[in-house]
Structure 1
Amino acid sequence: MSLLQVQGLRKSFGGVQAVQGVSFALQAGELLALIGPNGAGKSTTFNLVGGQILPDAGRVLLQGQDITGLAPRAVWRRGVGRTFQIAQTFASFTVLQNVQMALLSHDRHAWRWWRRADAHRPQDALALLEQVGMAAQAQRPCSALAYGDVKRVELAMALAHAPALLLMDEPTAGMAPAERLALMQLVQRIARERHMGVLFTEHSMDVVFGLADRVAVLVRGQLLAEGTPQQIQDDARVQAAYLGTGLALESA
């Protein structure tokens, strides 16, 4: 059984058919990149899976359980983590406290505002930071970090929930080439170790073709092609859809 099954998703906004019958599957431990030109339906598909948008038709199954139409918080409780194009951290908190806040939320204590974050599971938080290479900076405020390190902290926060599936919305946006490859190599290693599936949207083709296990290409709301990075690079339909130059332009 696939970890994630997306079956015939459809979504329209007024007269615009943003997503038209999109289907794909994701296995545990696998990285699947969702790519396409602007307006292809990537963000809509991504948000349909995460619960931010309700589909007009179709289903989303996680480990065989139907999560279609559930609110984002309910989807998160079912084992779906998420990172964002612009990293979501508490800038005035230390690196360690950010991860402790994520653990508080996982343990359903976030509403107890008087609870001190730095008293909650510090060793578990440090272990998560060790996984992402940020343990040495545990006591620094996030506001003092380089952006690539902030993205690592956000990843540790997402992992605090021990997700079966991690959704990453343009995870390397704003990062230098060496930084973005290092981040996604880290994600790849953690995905293998945790047997965690990763669905990500990405404009950097060096990341997509260098690190994704499979690539799904959307064009005008429809799934044009799906396969290994090499199959996608060699696909004449993909080349035609990008006018022969789009794949190179997206990595610029």
Structure 2
Amino acid sequence: MYVANCMSVALFIPCYLDQFYPDVAIASLELLERLGVDVVYPDGQTCCGQPMANTGCVADCAPVAHRFVELFAAYDTIVCPSGSCTAMVRHHYGDYFADDDPQFNHVKNRTFELCEFLHDELKIQSLDVQFPHKVSIHQSCHGLRELRLGASSENMTPREDKVRNVLNLVHGIQWCTPTRSDECCGFGGTFAVNEADVSAAMGRDRVADHVSSGSEVLVSADMSCLMHLQGIIRRESIPIEVMHVAQVLVGRMPKRVSPSAS
């Protein structure tokens, strides 16, 4: 297993993970510490402001963005287990800061999504983890279209699939591939509220595609997408589970699925 040379990072945990999926936060911390990273959790961190920005409440988002930069500017690196929140900081905070603001530019340039950090910064080569299950990946729109964590079908530019590359280090995974590997799940934050019927229909399509691939566990780097899909799965009693990539990387097991035969 790769061990970092006493690298210190600030861990940013999005508000919805803190409130609804704390085990994803715990798994992210466990993973980084296993890899030798000195992890700091800055007190007083709050939402990145993405819900307000997506709704057009620019004035309400501005103080949240300034609070984020003020809090995290003191750290060399910031790591976040959410592609959408990472994309908010990297690609949308520019609306709230001057182009030459040194603190803003430092935070923008040194904030990484978890898999991106493992792949590009730590460059991990092995993991002592088993996950003997049939797995499919949901690629989030923010991860693909803004962070470029992989290739998207509307763009001919070849890119490494950083999420899958990291998961390939886990032993025992049997890959299942959906027909439409980069299609939106329909969540989109406030889109799921404003266009609930469309959002739910898109989510059902995504779940059906993953189930038809033979997948037992639907894995993503964005728990916001999984939250949306999990709601559909639970309401309709669909035989598939969802897990965040951090949980798989530390060896958490799905609750209802037995290990797959090799």
Considering Cα pairs closer than 8 Å and 6+ residues apart, tell me whether 1 or 2 has the greater RCO. 1
TM-based fold match above 0.5: no
Please state which structure has a larger fraction of its residues in helix: 2
Please state which structure has a larger fraction of its residues in strand: 1
Q: Structure 2 length normalisation: TM-score?
A: 0.29
